[in-house]
Amino acid sequence: MKILYAYQTEAEREYVAEKLVGHELVFHLGPLGEGEAWTGEGVEAISIFVNSPIGEAELNRLPNLKLITTRSTGFDHIDAEAAKKRGVTVLSVPAYGEHTVAEFAFALLFTLSRKMFAAREAVVREGSFDPKSFTGFDLYGKTLGVLGTGRIGKNVIKIAKGFGLKVLAFDLYPDQAFATEQGINYLSLDEIFQQSDIITLHLPGGQETEKIINDQAIAKFKHGMIVINTARGSLIDTEALVRGLTSGAVGGAGLDVLAEEGNVADEMHLLASPHPKAEDLKTLLLNHYLIDHPKVVITPHMAFNTAEALQRILDTTIDNLNNFKV
Identity (one letter) of the amino acid at 40?
Answer: G
Instruction: Tell me, yes or no, if 261 is annotated catalytic.
Output: yes
Contacts of 208 (CB under 8 A, 6+ apart): 172
Nearest to 12 by CA among 39, 30, 37, 38: 30
Beta-strand ranges (E) seen in the chain are: 2-7, 24-29, 45-48, 67-70, 89-91, 143-147, 166-170, 185-186, 198-201, 225-229, 250-255, 296-298
Q: Which is catalytic among the residues 114, 232, 260, 275?
A: 232
Q: Which is catalytic among the residues 28, 99, 202, 301?
A: 301
Residue 263's CB: how many other CB atoms inside 10 A?
Answer: 20
Go through the chain and tell me how many residues it has: 326
Instruction: Tell me, yes or no, if 232 is annotated catalytic.
Output: yes
Whether the Cβ atoms of residue 202 and residue 148 lie closer than 8 Å to each other = yes
Q: Which is catalytic among the residues 44, 58, 98, 261?
A: 261
Beta-strand ranges (E) seen in 41-165 are: 45-48, 67-70, 89-91, 143-147
Identity (one letter) of the amino acid at 228?
Answer: I
The catalytic residue positions are: 232, 261, 301
